[in-house]
A and B are shown apart, each in its own frame.
Chain A
Amino acid sequence: MKPIEPPSRLERQREITAILDKADLKERRFLPLIAHMLKNVGLINCFRGVAWAPGLCLLVGLFSWGMISADFTATVSQNLNFCLQMTLLIQPLLLTGISLAACIIEKQLDVWEIRAVCRYNDKYLLAFRMLFMGIVGIFSVALSLLSVRSVGGLLVVKIFLASTAAYLLCGTVLMVSLRFLPEKWFWTVLVLWYGLELFLLARTWQDNMADWMDGVPLPLLIIAALGTAGFYFWQTRQLALSKTNEKMGGYWKC
């Protein structure tokens, strides 16, 4: 009979770690982790250095509202057209631009290196900020739609859903780029994405987008909005918890 050898210290340690990993739900579930972090760190600390970002997002909403409402001689249809161009194409670029600016400013300060080795490191902070900015961005879109609330009914709901989907899609593209792309490709992709949006804006400038929006079925817009929201939320989760970020060489690691 072969003698039984007791496990080595390293093997025992690995087994214990595996059991603890399975039991440690807080590390695996994103929302409890974020709630735990918020309780310990506080909302203000999560936005240190970039506290202007949520306020600026709401200002963009106010700006859009102002721009759409400004021309009192325009017809309702013209206002709706401009509203769609503003909320579908321009506002998403501005709102994700604010999130991007916050990332760049933080990187320039070099504070991210100190934060990266903290318990609640900048991956969690960035994930929470993107989640929060997502919600603030949706409020910003709703704010700008106050200018066309007189139209009433289903059309405003459709515009809101489409604009929300557009904004969350832009935010998702930003997060995926942050996670996976090295610096030179990051900027290339962002320039292409912004270029595409501006191209669509130019292409649709003279079109009657309000009629087009009226023709889009509501269930499709609901699915689009929920789908992009789900995808956005998943990417914020992956920002915090995914182990592949570093391997792929994300922007903030450069």
Chain B
Amino acid sequence: MLSVRHVTKKYGNFTALSDVSLEFGNGVYALLAPNGAGKTTLMKMMATLLFPTEGEILWDGTEINRLGAKYREILGYLPQQFGYYKSYSPKSYLLYLAALKGMDKKTAKAKIDQVLQEVALENDAKKRMRKFSGGMLQRVGIAQALLNDPKLLILDEPTAGLDPKERVRFRNMISALGRDRTVILSTHIVSDIESIADQVILLKDHQVIGCNPVETICSMMKGRVYETRISEKEWDEFQQLHLVLGEKPEHGEVLVRYAGEPGVYDNPVEPNLEDVFLYLYRDEKKE
């Protein structure tokens, strides 16, 4: 179990994270927040890349920097900016990382074939990565994170650059992995986590404001989300008066999804996670 206890991270006068306390058991945990909220800072601290200014992060009761190599052996990490050697193929790059992860060659080769198949890169295993698209590189990044069969998987914006088919594959993979290990992923793309996250952690103003299952978070907006049709002429005025959560032009009209006080308007609809995200971070959106 990973425990984050009263963790604060400061850079001079700037507080990147303030008094964060969380517990992670087996399952899929999603850090949901807009850019700049502190997701990457928290993930880097959990991956031992940054040191907290205050507080501690524990794995099974022991501070992770004290565990050192023992902690890194059970850790798989995908950073937001994935670095690689352009002249390498995925196979040679993963062989190199497998050596650094302390895997013997025989085990490494078998595992590399397996993870490349999981990320659908088995046919591109020997091609040089300088020719890869962003999505293919991201899949190599996911593959390296899975190499040592980690008990703790930390993925920072893992679906960036993936096409819809790859995203579905990724979601299925994470869902399966979360059954017997801890998976922590950060994103600002709600649809990536809505169906797979056991717990969603919301960050606002560099603090945790909620850590709940998706249904509980959505219930916060129950009775506050409405849908209506308006004409295109009314659209500009409507935007000024209401918080719009989504719009879809349809035959000269606009189907609008918006937030309001409970019981004020007709046609309330079931809120989803995206509605909650847009409502909670509406101030940051305006900035």
Q: Which residues of A contact B (CB under 8 A)?
A: 9-10, 13-14, 17, 21, 27, 40-42, 45, 48-49, 109-121, 125, 243, 246-247, 253
Would A246 and B79 be within 8 Å (CB), given that A48-B85, A49-B85 are in contact?
Answer: no
- Which of the four size classes fits the interface of chain B? 20 to 34
- Digitize B45-59: 1 where CB-to-A-CB distance is under 8 Å, 0 elsewhere: 001111100000000
A41 touches B83 (CB 8 A): no
Would A114 and B50 be within 8 Å (CB), given that A40-B99, A109-B83, A246-B65 are in contact?
Answer: no
Q: Is B252 in the interface zone, CB < 8 Å from A?
A: no
Chain A residues whose C-beta falls within 8 Å of the C-beta of B148 in the assembled complex? 119
Would A111 and B65 be within 8 Å (CB), given that A45-B100, A117-B72, A121-B72 are in contact?
Answer: no
Chain A residues whose C-beta falls within 8 Å of the C-beta of B61 in the assembled complex? 9-10, 13-14, 17
Would A117 and B75 be within 8 Å (CB), given that A10-B61, A111-B83 are in contact?
Answer: yes
Q: Is B235 in the interface zone, CB < 8 Å from A?
A: no
A247 touches B99 (CB 8 A): no
B83 touches A114 (CB 8 A): yes
Q: Is B101 in the interface zone, CB < 8 Å from A?
A: yes
B97 touches A117 (CB 8 A): no
B147's nearest neighbour on chain A, judged by CB, is: A118
B99 touches A45 (CB 8 A): yes
Chain B residues whose C-beta falls within 8 Å of the C-beta of A112 in the assembled complex? 83
Cα A37 to Cα B66 with chains together (Å): 19
Chain A residues whose C-beta falls within 8 Å of the C-beta of B82 in the assembled complex? 110, 114
Which 10 residue pairs of A and B lie closest in terms of their CB atoms, listed nearest first? A110-B83, A118-B100, A111-B83, A119-B102, A13-B61, A10-B61, A117-B77, A246-B51, A113-B79, A41-B99
Would A247 and B60 be within 8 Å (CB), given that A49-B85, A109-B85, A114-B82 are in contact?
Answer: no
B83 touches A119 (CB 8 A): no
A13, A42, A117 pick with most chain B CB within 10 angstroms? A117
Cα A89 to Cα B270 with chains together (Å): 74
Cα A253 to Cα B48 with chains together (Å): 11
Smallest beta-carbon distance B25→chain A, Å? 14
Smallest beta-carbon distance A30→chain B, Å? 14
Would A121 and B85 be within 8 Å (CB), given that A113-B79, A116-B49, A246-B65 are in contact?
Answer: no
A117 touches B81 (CB 8 A): no
Would A119 and B101 be within 8 Å (CB), given that A10-B61, A247-B51 are in contact?
Answer: yes
Chain B residues whose C-beta falls within 8 Å of the C-beta of A253 in the assembled complex? 49-50
Cα A112 to Cα B84 with chains together (Å): 9
Cα A21 to Cα B144 with chains together (Å): 29
Cα A40 to Cα B77 with chains together (Å): 21
Report 13 cross-chain contacts, Cβ distance below 8 Å, ordered by A residue: A13-B60, A27-B69, A40-B99, A110-B83, A111-B84, A117-B47, A118-B100, A118-B102, A119-B148, A121-B100, A246-B48, A246-B51, A253-B50
Q: Is B263 in the interface zone, CB < 8 Å from A?
A: no
Q: Is B164 in the interface zone, CB < 8 Å from A?
A: no
B85's nearest neighbour on chain A, judged by CB, is: A49
Chain B residues whose C-beta falls within 8 Å of the C-beta of A41 in the assembled complex? 99-100
- Digitize B88-108: 1 where CB-to-A-CB distance is under 8 Å, 0 elsewhere: 000000001101111010000
B83 touches A118 (CB 8 A): no
B83 touches A113 (CB 8 A): yes
Chain B residues whose C-beta falls within 8 Å of the C-beta of A247 in the assembled complex? 51
Cα A113 to Cα B40 with chains together (Å): 13
B156's nearest neighbour on chain A, judged by CB, is: A113
B141's nearest neighbour on chain A, judged by CB, is: A114
Would A118 and B72 be within 8 Å (CB), given that A40-B102, A42-B99 are in contact?
Answer: yes
Q: Is B62 in the interface zone, CB < 8 Å from A?
A: yes
A13's nearest neighbour on chain B, judged by CB, is: B61
A45, A118, A121 pick with most chain B CB within 10 angstroms? A118
Chain A residues whose C-beta falls within 8 Å of the C-beta of B69 in the assembled complex? 27, 119-121
Cα A40 to Cα B104 with chains together (Å): 7
Chain A residues whose C-beta falls within 8 Å of the C-beta of B85 in the assembled complex? 48-49, 109, 111
Cα A166 to Cα B223 with chains together (Å): 75
Chain B residues whose C-beta falls within 8 Å of the C-beta of A45 in the assembled complex? 96, 99-100
Cα A197 to Cα B188 with chains together (Å): 51
Q: Is B73 in the interface zone, CB < 8 Å from A?
A: yes
